[in-house]
């Protein structure tokens, strides 16, 4: 019994020592992660200031605001500087957003928003890119979907990232479908589907990590940073929702952002005037969706 008791005490002491080492390692890892996020946030902020000046002055030179250039080549150089600066600023903004999300410093400014209107705004920004690659984009927006309580900027970034990824990784002449539909649990789903190269099942986890990209995407796409999907995942989780990525090799990818039912604004009983106004907004909404679909058909 004395031997067993001594053995037990030794095992307990060993477990306590291992637990202490594990706790110390976890604390060091958490401190390192916080330091990394703070470093990225600080450096991103410091880099944006000179970049804004570079972009602004290069735009002035490109548009020849103060007179034409003596050598037309300088105008091309100015355009290259402006394009490169804008691309770098976009990358810095993505890193800054991701670092804020990871550090828990991203604050939501919530308001009632219409996902259909968000999709329409994003399509106006993506239209030229789609036309440049002869791609078509169809829309399936539920006409009676209620508004959701969310951060408009974050939701717009979610939609832009998903639409941009779909167009980027879909080959020339490809097809993309964007839908906003009610979920069975009472929430709302924003989905973007494409017929691009797809992602192998073994790489789904990889593309959800910061700077991660699939092998087929690297071979066929225009290039990217691998930050779009992690930012989407982080932003929708801040809203209490979820992000689901489904893909089939060489048959396309489906990205679904799900807002929980708690964020869906219910239409309460209201006086006749209020109901009439609501019907007018729904009518305007239906016209906007119809116009969105018409523009998509024209682009095709």
Do 128 and 68 share a structural domain? Answer: no
Rounded to whole angstroms, how far apart are CA atoms 235 and 98?
9
Average confidence score pLDDT of the chain: 81
Do 135 and 93 share a structural domain? Answer: no
How many domains, the chain? Answer: 2
Half-sphere exposure of 118 toward its Cβ, with a 13 Å CA cutoff? 25
The CATH number given to whatever domain includes residue 253 is 3.30.565.10
The pLDDT tens digits of the residues spanning 123-175 come to: 988 898 898 889 999 999 998 889 999 999 999 999 999 999 899 888 889 99
Do 75 and 138 share a structural domain? Answer: no
* Percent of the chain's residues with pLDDT above 70: 82
Residue 273 confidence (pLDDT) above 50: no
Question: Where in the sequence is the domain holding 59, given as residue range(s)?
Answer: 2-103
Do 220 and 77 share a structural domain? Answer: no
| Mean pLDDT score, 205-230 | 70
Q: Which of 40, 71, 103 is the last residue of a domain?
A: 103
215 or 192, which is more confident: 192
Helices (H), 133-271: 152-169, 204-207, 215-220, 228-238
Half-sphere exposure of 288 toward its Cβ, with a 13 Å CA cutoff? 20
Do 122 and 92 share a structural domain? Answer: no
Residues 6+ apart with CB under 8 A from 61: 69, 74, 75, 78, 81
User: Which whole-number Å values give the CA distances from 161 to 42, 191, 224, 228, in the listed order?
Assistant: 24, 12, 11, 6
- Phi first, then psi, for residue 141 (nearest 5°) are -100, 120
Q: Which of 103, 127, 151 is the last residue of a domain?
A: 103
């Amino acid at each position: 019994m004395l031997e067993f008791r001594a053995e037990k005490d030794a095992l307990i002491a060993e477990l306590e020592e291992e637990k202490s080492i594990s706790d110390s390692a976890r604390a060091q890892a958490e401190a390192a992660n916080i330091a990394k996020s703070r470093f990225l946030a600080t450096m991103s902020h410091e880099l944006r200031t000179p970049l804004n000046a570079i972009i602004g002055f290069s735009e002035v030179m490109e548009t020849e605001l103060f007179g034409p250039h003596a050598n037309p080549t300088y105008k091309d150089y100015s355009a290259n500087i402006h394009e490169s600066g804008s691309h770098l600023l976009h990358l810095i903004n993505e890193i800054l957003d991701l670092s804020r999300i990871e550090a828990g410093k991203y604050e939501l400014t919530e308001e009632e928003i219409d996902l259909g209107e968000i999709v329409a705004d994003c399509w106006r920004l993506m239209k030229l890119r789609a036309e440049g690659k002869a791609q078509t984009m169809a829309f399936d927006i539920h006409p009676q979907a209620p508004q959701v309580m969310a951060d408009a900027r974050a939701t717009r970034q979610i939609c832009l990232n998903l639409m941009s990824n779909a167009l980027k990784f879909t080959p020339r002449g490809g097809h993309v479908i964007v839908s906003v539909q009610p979920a069975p649990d009472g929430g709302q789903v924003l989905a973007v589907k494409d017929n691009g190269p797809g992602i192998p099942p073994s790489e789904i986890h990889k593309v959800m990590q910061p700077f991660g990209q699939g092998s087929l995407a690297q071979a066929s796409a225009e290039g990217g940073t691998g930050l779009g999907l992690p930012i989407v995942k982080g932003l929708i989780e801040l809203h209490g929702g979820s992000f689901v990525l489904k893909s089939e090799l060489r048959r396309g990818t489906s990205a679904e952002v799900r807002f929980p039912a708690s964020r869906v604004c219910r239409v309460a009983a209201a006086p006749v005037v209020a109901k009439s106004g609501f019907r007018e907004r729904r009518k305007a909404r239906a016209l906007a969706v119809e116009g969105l679909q018409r523009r998509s058909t024209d682009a095709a």
